[in-house]
Amino acid sequence: MPVSYIERILRARVYDVAVETPLSRAELLSRRLGNAVYLKREDLQPVFSFKLRGAYNKLFHLDEATRAGGVIAASAGNHAQGVALGASRLGIEATIVMPRTTPLIKAQAVRRLGAKAVLQGDSYDEAYAHARSLAEERGLTFIHPFDDPDVIAGQGTIAMEILRQHPQPPHAIFVPVGGGGLIAGVAAYVKYVYPQVRVIGVEPEEAPTLAQALAAGRPVTLGRVGLFADGVAVRRIGEETFRVARETVDEVVLVSSDELCAAIKDIFDDTRGIAEPAGALAVAGLKRYVQTRGISGQSLIAIESGANINFDRLRHVAERAELGERREALLAVEIPERPGSFHSFCRTLGRRQITEFNYRFADPRRAQVFVGVELGGGDQERADLIARLESKGLTVTDMTENETAKLHIRYMVGGHAPGLEDERLIRFEFPERPGALLDFLAGLGRRWNISLFHYRNHGAAYGRVLIGVQVPEQQRSELGQQLDALGYRYWEETDNPAYRLFANGRESPNEGR
């Protein structure tokens, strides 16, 4: 690793605005995982995110003429707040371009810190392109959120603090990855001081920018990225950040959205602080690493990178945390429609806590029950429970990993429509902004009848919709063309067992058993 990065990190100017955050032992996680787990609490920065470090270091090193001309940045929120606060302290006029899907709490914070917030586009990429255009048009200096040596060096001061705060070299440090600025700075410093310490990147399964780049040997542009962890929803890792990461990062761990929700809960249980999804990435990756490697008795450090989360997103997080921890099973169970069958079914479940129970009469012979059951032993206990129910002659469909069931069907149980013809079930994601739902419906057009519709606002950047559309067989190719033209991410769910059991109008898949 070039010595220049070590020198840049040692000389980085961050403490005019940033604070040295604590390295706190997570007692509950440590006992549960059998390792000494520590959290680097970057959520305690003045803007509730580590991004302040790199942004201020870059701004500080601008010459006077450049400062006088003003700066511009593109960000979904955390880098924006860092640039806004840093520019305010240094007397620099700042403009921040943010996607219209940016959580309101972040946009308001930018304005409160004195910067001009411009909302443009539905994604970071669109905001970035607009910011670059404005920079050229107005002669503004663009402050990159990650692919800049001064930004990387500012983030690297986190590693300097960790190694000073931890008495011995830890086994591993887990770092969230978006564009790569944080992991490049941390890995450059750690590997120079303690080459034996493992530096492990953590990414969402829906945004594996570094994992894909390492596999290809070069940065690649992902077609789409999931936006649940909006702070790391980047389609392409930086050129410079990848160059550094390729030489210094040991491996990358990918985690699901449900695992992120479970990690947010873990952090809350240990600290009473609430991390944003990207802020909990490292903890989720640490847990996955311990589970897959079976290590124990080691010191493991996770960088809790931010806490800028809309309050209304907590509803979704709470709903999914137990699933992410494998502490809840979602099951569809067919029981006889006769007196006493419910009681018998509940006795079979035993003393387990019921988290959800949905039923509505639809057939005189059998009943479909959607039930959530609290677990203590994870996947094996779920398998044992299903086997026990089936030994009683019950038909069980496991819905625990069924995204449509978790997002939609659990809120629609009882929605059968007997006699409905030619219904196709489609699940969508579209940018969540004022008027977005109306735009979505307008884009779908009026040619086919909408026979089912379910939408829930999760306080996230993307809205999730489940629709049923009546489309004759000979028109289905035209439906596909119409869906592609919308430009939204979608999945065909017509054969999803959750739909067939609880919401469709056709005969039950078990008819005639």
Report whether 23 contacts 161 (CB < 8 A): yes
User: Are 379 and 400 in contact, with CB atoms under 8 Å apart?
Assistant: no
**Residue 336 neighbours by CB under 8 Å, 6+ apart:** 365, 366, 367
Say which residue the tokens 């044992």 belong to. Answer: 384
Starting at the earlier edge strand, list the strands of the sheet with 489-492. 449-456, 462-470, 423-431, 489-492
Spatial contact of 261 and 320, defined as CB atoms under 8 Å apart: yes
Q: How would you classify the pairing of strands 198-204 and 251-255? A: parallel
51 catalytically annotated: yes
SS3 content of the chain, % helix, strand, coil (to 5): 45, 20, 35
Three-class SS state of 340: coil
pLDDT at 356: 72
Q: What fold, for 3-49+149-322? A: Rossmann fold (3.40.50)
Place of tokens 């502490």: 327
Distance CA 81, CA 260 (A): 23
26-49 b/e (C-beta count within 10 Å ≥ 16 → b) = beebbeebebbbbbbbbbbbebbb
- Tell me the torsion sign for CA atoms 50, 55, 58, 60: negative
SS (H, E, C) 133-183: HHHHHHCCEECCCCCCHHHHHHHHHHHHHHHHHCCCCCCEEEEECCCCHHH
- Local structure of residue 77 (DSSP, 8 states): S
The CATH number fitting domain 417-502, selected from 3.40.1020.10, 3.90.550.10, 3.40.570.10, 3.30.428.10: 3.40.1020.10
Evaluated on CA atoms 161, 236, 198, 173, the torsion sign reads: positive
Backbone phi, psi, residue 119, to 5°: -95, 120
Which pLDDT belongs to residue 510?
Answer: 43
Active site residue 265: no
Residues sharing a CB contact under 8 Å with residue 34, sequence separation 6 or more, in sequence order = 290, 296, 297
Domains 3-49+149-322 and 417-502 share a fold: no
Q: In angstroms, rounded to a whole number, what is the distance separating the alpha carbons of residues 149 and 375?
A: 47
Domain boundary assignment for the chain: 3-49+149-322, 52-142, 326-401, 417-502
Q: What angle do CA 274, 356, 500 make, to 5 degrees?
A: 115
* DSSP per position, 252-312: EEEE-HHHHHHHHHHHHHHHS----TGGGHHHHHHHHHHHHH---S-EEEEEE-B----GG
Intra-chain end-to-end CA distance of the chain, in Å = 66
Taking the C-alpha atoms of residue 413 and residue 408, their distance in angstroms, rounded to an integer, is 9
The answer to whether 69 and 139 have CB atoms below 8 angstroms apart is yes
Distances 123 to 225, 371, 430 between C-alpha atoms, Å: 10, 37, 11
CA torsion through residues 214, 217, 219, 222, sign: negative
Instruction: Look at residues 456, 463, 513, 466 and name the one whose alpha carbon lies nearest to residue 494.
Output: 466
Strand partners, 116: 95
CA-to-CA dists, residue 217 to 201, 212, 234, angstroms:
16, 8, 18
Catalytic residue among 75, 123, 257, 305: 305
Find the helix or strand (DSSP H, E) in which 41 lies: strand 36-41
CATH topology of domain 326-401: Alpha-Beta Plaits (3.30.70)
Q: Provide the residue type at 347 as one letter.
A: R
For the record, the structure tokens of 111 come out as: 């304005």
Return the pLDDT at 337: 66
Residues 284 and 265: beta-carbon distance below 8 Å: no
Rounded CA gap, 496 and 404, in Å?
8
Catalytic residue among 51, 106, 191, 406: 51
Question: What's the CATH architecture for 52-142?
Answer: 3-Layer(aba) Sandwich (3.40)
Q: Could you tell me the mean pLDDT of each successive run of 10 residues in the chain, 513 residues long?
A: 80 97 98 97 95 97 96 89 95 93 79 92 85 96 96 98 96 97 98 97 96 97 85 92 97 95 95 95 98 96 92 79 77 77 74 70 71 79 89 88 80 66 83 64 72 64 76 88 83 86 57 35
